[in-house]
Amino acid sequence: MTSLPATTGKKLGLVIDLDICVGCQACATSCKEWNGQGVSAPLSDDNARGPQPMGTWLNRIHGYEVQEEGRDDSRIVHFPRSCLHCETPACVTVCPTGASYKRAEDGIVLVNPETCIGCKLCSWACPYGAREYDYASGVMKKCTLCVDRIYNENFVPEDRVPACVKACPTGARSFGDLGDPNSDVSTLVAERGGYDLFPEMGYKPTNKYLPPRPRRDKAIAGIEPLPAQDGSALDRLFAWADKLMTSSRATASVNPADVSDRLEG
């Protein structure tokens, strides 16, 4: 049924910390590995080892260069992007067959591969590019939040998390109930100012992104500032050595910012 549930018992989702993601692609590859065998199988590749490989992925990691205001330098932000399991997703309501649905119990958005006709309209309705069509099986694929792991009683409890969360070596991905204000993920979102992607679309994504923390150093990047002179014996020793070694002829300055006329301590 493509009409949305009025409320969902839980709001299961991911919190992605852009501050500590290193862009290693472990989440993407573990996602591909797990979902290529589980309920999402096949997650097919076409010409995987040829010159023009193309395949279905449920999680992709972009890299963005961000120049912060008032700074000359920029920073790289690794940006994993997958289904956000929106509260009011248009991808579900546009589905003509009822293959796309949002679960009332936990809010997970799924596609039934048995009834999907492969019209691709849901992928048009998603602003996040979260749905990818599988050309080999002729149906739409998307993140299932590893629904076949998180409730799997054959797993020890610490493994009952999505494959991407389990794989992340830096702990940049957290999984939990974002509908519960006291859950770990909700606390994390509150503490770090977690935000929605494309809020103006109005689809109320469940997944949240934690912004990169502000840079700690305020100086121009690339030049190590010199420590202040304190007049100690060591300071005077370096000044003496510097003077001794400085030729009377001008020498090329190694560090253009070094106008202290002394060796760096």
Residue 61 C-beta: closest distance to another protein, Å: 5
Residue 190 C-beta: closest distance to another protein, Å: 16
- If you search the block for the tokens 């006709």, which residue do you land on? 117
d(CA 88, CA 215): 35
Residue 12 C-beta: closest distance to another protein, Å: 21
**Of 123 and 187, CB closest to another protein:** 123
**Of 32 and 262, CB closest to another protein:** 32
Could you tell me the sign of the dihedral formed by the alpha carbons of 231, 232, 234, 236, in that order? Answer: positive
Compute CA distances 7 → 102, 107, 128, 183, 206, whole Å.
Answer: 10, 8, 22, 18, 13
Residue 252 C-beta: closest distance to another protein, Å: 35
**Of 9 and 98, CB closest to another protein:** 98
- If you search the block for the tokens 């796309």, which residue do you land on? 100
**Of 16 and 163, CB closest to another protein:** 16
CB 35 within 8 A of CB 44: no
Residue ranges that bind another protein, judged by CB under 8 A: 1-4, 18, 23, 28, 52-57, 60-69, 74, 76-77, 79, 81, 90, 92-99, 115-121, 123-129, 132-133, 135, 137-139, 195-202, 209, 211-212
Q: Please give the angle made by the CA atoms of 40, 44 and 133, to the nearest 5 degrees.
A: 75
